[in-house]
Structure 1
């Protein structure tokens, strides 16, 4: 593990030669700042290169880079920037289009190395640009491995998940609370609260008084407008059950019309967000075949969102030398604080992308329900090695990461025989 990491960092350091111009950019909303250094860390710019976040600014940066290359006789250039926010997308994409290599620096790296040059906690855009350039020259960066288009495709789904799904949780809570205050116990008798039958009921007859005005046949007929299978005799029995509850309801009727109005709009908002998420998933599923290794990841049994997350935040898996590099990107690598006689507790660093971490976990959780190889390994871990279920899950996440990287490097689909090693007692 450590040798692989050292080898990868050595390769990034060796990438910077005597003929390489290293540019560090401090990203901002409207105006970026850039500084240039050589492989020794000597600053080559008399003053910072300030350029606007538009085409004219980008062209000014390229002209400045070419001028510095000519002055100092350098035929190679690497541009580094922090991978934070979204303002770096345009400049990184444009530089790649001009044939210039782009390296991304973890914001935590720049934060921890900010005082190296002047032993001062001061902060300025030119200073931050130098810190970024230093990090690139010492190998504390990662290359921009795949086209921006792929990250942008996943970004649509990411935006939907980070806002839409949170709204769904809120909407579910508010809608459930609103429904229960008007008509208690419906959540128990309608099974899944946000099923098609439940949504149809909440839309058309959310209050007990609405139900008592209908016959069971009329209720089933209304359900059929929203459901392909409203359920013949079963649907009629469900309607009779709800009517029985309505006759003895103790729901709040002090502001019934207002409650029904609020509930109706909450349901409409829920359905709107649900449509957005479905559309985003369809767009990602359509774009995935264009991305290298996507079919290999899907062969394991990963879902469309999980595959998109692995590709967007794990980068080009073919460039990784070990699965633990993928774990580090997800913050699933272990960290220990020890000094002298003190030995601290080993914990996950969580210094990585939380969405990648989440989808690796849920992919293993999903695989344990149908993948024979992972099921066998999980049973071996829990029953033979006496691990807890969570310990086994974390071990299998590491196994999945190694499998994914090996599949990408070899260009082979998932094979249960290769995935499951001989399990010794």
Structure 2
């Protein structure tokens, strides 16, 4: 609208009458976009769950980093190697009860084993793990701070906050799965490698009904995964992603691709191998391959919902035009001979 106003009125200044003229002009020439009302489309609840989950996840990550980079190096640095991933509530529960090595040594080996047994949860070698933590506490170089000091009280407060955020995130994931478990679009998206409950929730919340995109190129443009080239006169810039679409959708497909290439027997991992074949240590080629796979993830999500068919891992192998890259060298050698 700003560019149209400048072209119509030969100036950048604006007022209500000029804005009304610009809006009427754009409606007249058909320069419009479709607006999807979340309430009318029935995705308002999905959007609220998705955005709340993202906000809680960011807060959880910040709290987790604060624990790892500030509190643990001061009060129990050796315990970090038992941390695991940020979804491990048992580690935070153990820290909340025993925030310092002194609190572990004070109860003795048997007392610590008895209390930690229920906190650690289901582990393959639980007795060995608990004994290793106790031995680590006995040789710790942590600051000699009393367990009832104000500093440890603040430490426990941050741990309680992290545990509360984990619980809230789990509740949102359970609610989302219960709400969408009978949704056919949700079921089709879950069949795609790398797309879990939250990724599927974000796609449905941000894109709505994917059937409204007549072609997958429209959906790619909506996600900002289309290619664009800046050019003026004789100047022509590099062709790259436009990134003028929905950033949350673009990030969701990128994260789903990161998960898919680590799984076995799917077309995404297979396509990555073909992209980087012969260049395993080229980071630029791998980055371009990941971008192409992200666009493919978006195309597959659009295709399975629009056609209502389930994901097939190696559909391209059924195409006679596709050839295994491992056979190229053999064909070339045969032709040479």
Shared fold per TM-score greater than 0.5: yes
Aligned: 1:338 with 2:231? yes
Alignment of 1:80-95 (within 5 A): none
Aligned residue for 2:52, secondary structure, equals helix
Greater relative contact order structure (CA < 8 Å, 6+ sep): 2
- Over 3 Å counting, the alpha-carbon distance change for 1:229 and 1:415 in structure 2 is closer
Deviation, 1:394, is: 1.3
2:128 corresponds in structure 1 to: 234
2:51 corresponds in structure 1 to: 158
2:333 corresponds in structure 1 to: none
1:31 corresponds in structure 2 to: none
Alignment of 1:132-171 (within 5 A): 132=23, 134-137=25-28, 138-144=30-36, 147-161=40-54, 163-171=55-63
Q: Is the 8 A contact 2:102 2:147 kept in 1?
A: no
How does the TM-score come out when normalised to structure 1? Answer: 0.65
1:393 corresponds in structure 2 to: 290
Alignment of 1:89-128 (within 5 A): 110-124=1-15, 128=19
How does the TM-score come out when normalised to structure 2? Answer: 0.81
Q: Is the 8 A contact 2:221 2:245 kept in 1?
A: yes
Which protein has the bigger strand share? 1
Alignment of 1:339-418 (within 5 A): 339-370=232-263, 371-383=265-277, 388-418=285-315
Q: Which moved more, 1:316-325 or 1:284-293?
A: 284-293
Aligned residue for 1:347, secondary structure, equals strand
Deviation, 1:255, is: 9.9
Which protein has the bigger helix share? 2
- Over 3 Å counting, the alpha-carbon distance change for 1:168 and 1:112 in structure 2 is farther
Separation (CA, whole Å) in 2 of partners of 1:413 and 1:130: 48
Q: Is the 8 A contact 1:184 1:251 kept in 2?
A: no
Separation (CA, whole Å) in 1 of partners of 2:323 and 2:89: 45
- Over 3 Å counting, the alpha-carbon distance change for 1:185 and 1:236 in structure 2 is closer
Aligned residue for 1:358, secondary structure, equals helix
Computed over aligned residues only, the root mean square deviation of the Cα atoms, in angstroms, reads 2.9
Q: Is the 8 A contact 2:116 2:130 kept in 1?
A: no
Deviation, 1:250, is: 4.1
1:184 corresponds in structure 2 to: 77
Aligned: 1:297 with 2:297? no
Alignment of 1:281-320 (within 5 A): 281-289=173-181, 291=183, 293-301=185-193, 302-320=195-213
Aligned: 1:244 with 2:141? no
- Over 3 Å counting, the alpha-carbon distance change for 1:238 and 1:190 in structure 2 is farther
Separation (CA, whole Å) in 2 of partners of 1:180 and 1:193: 17
Separation (CA, whole Å) in 2 of partners of 1:197 and 1:226: 6
**5+ residue gaps, structure 1:** 1-109
